[in-house]
């Protein structure tokens, strides 16, 4: 039977639909945050007054760089470290204290820098506290339902599968591939220096990316490594498309994610290509009966042992490959980039760490044994991760009312722990908190600050970074090799501008003047 509506009915239905949509938007953007705010304010937690619909989003300007536009090559002044991105937060903290709340789109955020509550939150093992669902909604195409976005039993299962593959013993077995990739970077710099007459002006970001992409492709895909590189290249494109179109306030509105806009169409096409490429590698392995022992194989076996349907198995594999990429690729690349920027602008430290690398390695290639002995280099890496932590906000969502200290945090609230602020708080680090001073780590993290649990470049607690060992070994090998072969300073082209994309990046890249030693 065919239904027929007259014009009047059609108009009424359209009006009803429109009212329904407005109602949904009102509930998500106004009523829900208002209810959560009022529950928090009854406990004495206040915050800046939100504007209608966008909450406090306009004041936060997340993602905007505080670039020092013209740079003449001298070291970036201390207040331009990553913490300067969160000026809005410091202003509010002064006004409202160590626990305050604000609204962002349809999320009600509880900002926490109160040390005891930070400890309780970061070490909490309850499944009632997990990765914020807005992260999953906004980053969905990039991460799917892999370890970074999953919660509860699904997350615990994924972590159990991946963790043993990233233990220090396994990482030691990856030293050769890491060294190979570092040598490739050094060789290309040497030939640039030769062709440019002794000193090359190099934008280093792309080299750091190739290095960490190379390592993670080999660790993850071993013999299928070239296909791995293709996959990671497409993931990078997807990430760029997401930054361009998705990681914005608009991306938090559910309707925006499903409209066939140019950005969404680009995202969907890339997502499909990535999925097909990963599943091709999986198919090759299952038909050729490959005997690989890499991260992909662990994910594959983990999926097979989990009694999942074919579709669930495919999703498990695809999503976790994407997660390893995102977790291990950009973070390590930007950490190396920031570290070199800091060494370029602190020549004294550059010389100190070079002297250590040359004396420990005797001019040879670094290995698992020698990098362990590089104490000064460890101090520099720690200090660089303090001032420029790639992950600047640790966010969690409360899935059921939870109690932290005296506060009951209602279900639905997002908790943000502000890593940059904690890493540069003069009450914790002393009056030189904004300065690059690796000496503070001479006696490790406990010697460097009053409250070591507030130093968290790799996170803390049950969800601490699984790739911490791999990342540290990668950074030490790459940096010691570069320091043993080259001297470098900031190029006059360099413009300092930390910017918050998926990770904390230098907006204009890092340009160095490099000469061979």
| Feature table: binding site for heme | 465
CB of 397 closer than 8 Å to CB of 131: yes
Q: How far is the CB of 486 from ligand HEM (least distance, A)?
A: 22
Q: Determine the straight-line distance between the first and last CA of the chain, rounded to whole angstroms.
A: 84
Instruction: Round to whole Å and give the CA distance between 296 and 278.
Output: 10
Residue among 124, 139, 148, 481 that touches ligand HEM (CB under 6 A): 148
Strand partners, 107: 104
**Residue 165, Ramachandran bin (φ over 0: left; ψ between -120 and 50: alpha; else beta):** alpha
Residue among 57, 281, 317, 324 that touches ligand HEM (CB under 6 A): 324
Tokens of 77: 């002044």
Residue among 118, 147, 277, 361 that touches ligand HEM (CB under 6 A): 147
Residues that bind ligand HEM (rule: CB under 6 A) add up to a total of: 24
Q: How far is the CB of 162 from ligand HEM (least distance, A)?
A: 6
Q: What are phi and psi of 387, to 5 degrees?
A: -80, -30
Closest to ligand HEM by CB, 143 or 282: 143
Residue among 112, 124, 470, 479 that touches ligand HEM (CB under 6 A): 470
Tell whether residue 394 is a contact of ligand HEM (CB under 6 A).
yes
Tell whether residue 378 is a contact of ligand HEM (CB under 6 A).
no
Q: Is 353 exposed, middle or buried (0-12, 13-18, 19+ CB in 10 A)?
A: buried
Tell whether residue 181 is a contact of ligand HEM (CB under 6 A).
no
Instruction: Round to whole Å and give the CA distance between 23 and 325.
Output: 39
Q: How far is the CB of 70 from ligand HEM (least distance, A)?
A: 30
Q: How far is the CB of 417 from ligand HEM (least distance, A)?
A: 9
Q: How far is the CB of 46 from ligand HEM (least distance, A)?
A: 26
Tell whether residue 390 is a contact of ligand HEM (CB under 6 A).
yes
DSSP assignment of 343-390, as one string? HHH-HHHHHHHHHHHHHHHTTS---HHHHHT-HHHHHHHHHHHHHS-S
Which region, judged by CB under 6 A, interacts with ligand HEM, from 59-67, 103-111, 273-281, 329-337?
A: 329-337
Find the binding residues for ligand HEM in span 219-258 (CB under 6 A).
Answer: none
Tell whether residue 320 is a contact of ligand HEM (CB under 6 A).
no
Tokens of 348: 């004294």
Residue among 66, 145, 264, 332 that touches ligand HEM (CB under 6 A): 332
CB of 43 closer than 8 Å to CB of 485: no
Tell whether residue 328 is a contact of ligand HEM (CB under 6 A).
yes
Residue nearest ligand HEM (C-beta atom): 467
Closest to ligand HEM by CB, 455 or 458: 458
Closest to ligand HEM by CB, 22 or 464: 464
| Binding-site residues from annotation | 465
Q: How far is the CB of 450 from ligand HEM (least distance, A)?
A: 21
CB of 415 closer than 8 Å to CB of 122: no
Cα torsion through 42, 44, 48, 49, rounded to 10: 20
Nearest CA-CA partner of 338 in 2, 80, 55: 80
Question: Which residue carries 């097979």 as its tokens?
Answer: 304
Closest to ligand HEM by CB, 313 or 395: 395
Tell whether residue 392 is a contact of ligand HEM (CB under 6 A).
no
CB of 469 closer than 8 Å to CB of 169: no
Q: What are phi and psi of 125, to 5 degrees?
A: -105, 0
Residue among 56, 108, 331, 384 that touches ligand HEM (CB under 6 A): 331
Tell whether residue 498 is a contact of ligand HEM (CB under 6 A).
no
Instruction: Round to whole Å and give the CA distance between 378 and 188.
Output: 26
Q: How far is the CB of 64 from ligand HEM (least distance, A)?
A: 22
Tell whether residue 391 is a contact of ligand HEM (CB under 6 A).
yes
Instruction: Round to whole Å and give the CA distance between 491 and 257.
Output: 41
Closest to ligand HEM by CB, 99 or 415: 415
The helix/strand/coil state of 103 is strand
Burial 426-465 (b: 16+ CB within 10 A, else e): eebbeeebbebbbebbeeeeeebbebebbbbbbbbbebeb
Q: How far is the CB of 339 from ligand HEM (least distance, A)?
A: 10
Tokens of 219: 């660790």
Closest to ligand HEM by CB, 381 or 513: 381
Closest to ligand HEM by CB, 39 or 109: 109
Closest to ligand HEM by CB, 159 or 453: 159
Closest to ligand HEM by CB, 40 or 465: 465
Strand partners, 203: 511
CB of 349 closer than 8 Å to CB of 438: yes
Instruction: Round to whole Å and give the CA distance between 500 and 498.
Output: 7
Tell whether residue 420 is a contact of ligand HEM (CB under 6 A).
no
Instruction: Round to whole Å and give the CA distance between 427 and 182.
Output: 39
Tell whether residue 471 is a contact of ligand HEM (CB under 6 A).
yes
Site string for ligand HEM, 439-468 (x = CB under 6 A): ------------------xxx---x-xxx-
Closest to ligand HEM by CB, 39 or 339: 339
The helix/strand/coil state of 55 is strand
Closest to ligand HEM by CB, 148 or 204: 148
Q: How far is the CB of 152 from ligand HEM (least distance, A)?
A: 12
The residues that touch ligand HEM, with contacts defined as CB under 6 A, are 147-148, 159, 162, 166, 216, 324, 327-328, 331-332, 335, 390-391, 394, 457-459, 463, 465-467, 470-471
């Amino acid at each position: 039977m065919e239904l027929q509506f007259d014009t009047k009915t059609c108009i009424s239905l359209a009006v009803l639909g429109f009212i329904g949509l407005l109602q949904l938007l009102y509930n998500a953007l106004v009523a829900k945050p208002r209810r959560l705010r009022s529950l928090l304010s009854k406990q004495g937690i206040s915050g800046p007054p939100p504007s209608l619909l966008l909450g406090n989003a306009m004041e936060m300007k997340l993602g905007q760089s505080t670039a020092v536009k013209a740079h003449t090559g001298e070291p970036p002044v201390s207040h331009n470290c990553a913490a300067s991105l969160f000026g809005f937060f410091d202003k509010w903290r002064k006004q409202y204290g160590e626990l305050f709340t604000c609204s962002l789109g349809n999320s009600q955020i509880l900002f926490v820098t109160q040390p005891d509550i930070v400890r309780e939150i970061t070490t909490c093992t309850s499944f009632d506290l997990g990765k914020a669902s807005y992260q999953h909604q906004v980053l969905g195409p990039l991460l799917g339902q892999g370890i970074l976005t999953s919660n509860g039993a699904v997350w615990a299962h994924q972590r159990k599968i991946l963790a043993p593959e990233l233990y220090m013993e396994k990482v030691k077995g990856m030293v050769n591939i890491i060294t190979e990739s570092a040598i490739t970077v050094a060789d290309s710099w040497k030939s640039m220096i030769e062709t440019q007459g002794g000193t090359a002006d190099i934008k280093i970001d792309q080299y750091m990316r190739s290095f960490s992409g190379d390592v993670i492709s080999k660790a993850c895909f071993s013999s299928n490594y070239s296909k791995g590189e293709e996959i990671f290249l497409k993931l990078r494109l997807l990430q760029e498309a997401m930054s361009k179109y998705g990681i914005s306030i608009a991306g938090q509105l559910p309707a925006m994610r499903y409209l066939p806009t140019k950005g969404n169409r680009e995202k969907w096409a890339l997502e499909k290509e990535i999925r097909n490429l990963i599943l091709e590698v999986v198919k090759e392995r299952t038909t050729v009966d490959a005997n690989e022992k890499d991260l992909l194989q662990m994910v594959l076996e983990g999926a097979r042992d989990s009694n999942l349907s074919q579709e669930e198995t495919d999703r498990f594999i695809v999503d976790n490959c994407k997660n390893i990429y995102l977790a291990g690729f950009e973070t390590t690349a930007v950490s190396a980039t920031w570290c070199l920027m800091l060494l370029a602008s602190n020549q004294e430290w550059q010389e100190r760490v070079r002297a250590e690398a040359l004396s420990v390695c005797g001019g040879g290639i670094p290995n698992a044994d020698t990098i362990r002995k590089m104490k000064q280099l460890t101090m520099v890496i720690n200090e660089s991760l303090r001032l420029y932590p790639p992950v600047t906000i640790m966010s969690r969502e409360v899935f059921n009312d939870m109690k932290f200290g005296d506060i009951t945090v209602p279900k639905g609230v997002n908790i943000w722990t502000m890593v940059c602020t904690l890493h540069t708080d003069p009450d914790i680090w002393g009056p030189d908190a904004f300065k690059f001073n690796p000496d503070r780590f001479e006696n490790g993290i406990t010697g460097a600050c009053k409250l070591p649990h507030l130093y968290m470049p790799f996170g803390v607690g049950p969800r601490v970074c699984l790739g911490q060992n791999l990342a540290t070994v990668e950074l030490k090998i790459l940096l010691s090799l570069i320091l043993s072969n080259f001297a470098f300073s900031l190029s006059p082209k360099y413009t300092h501008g930390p910017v918050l994309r998926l990770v904390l990046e230098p907006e204009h890249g890092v340009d160095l003047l490099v000469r061979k030693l």
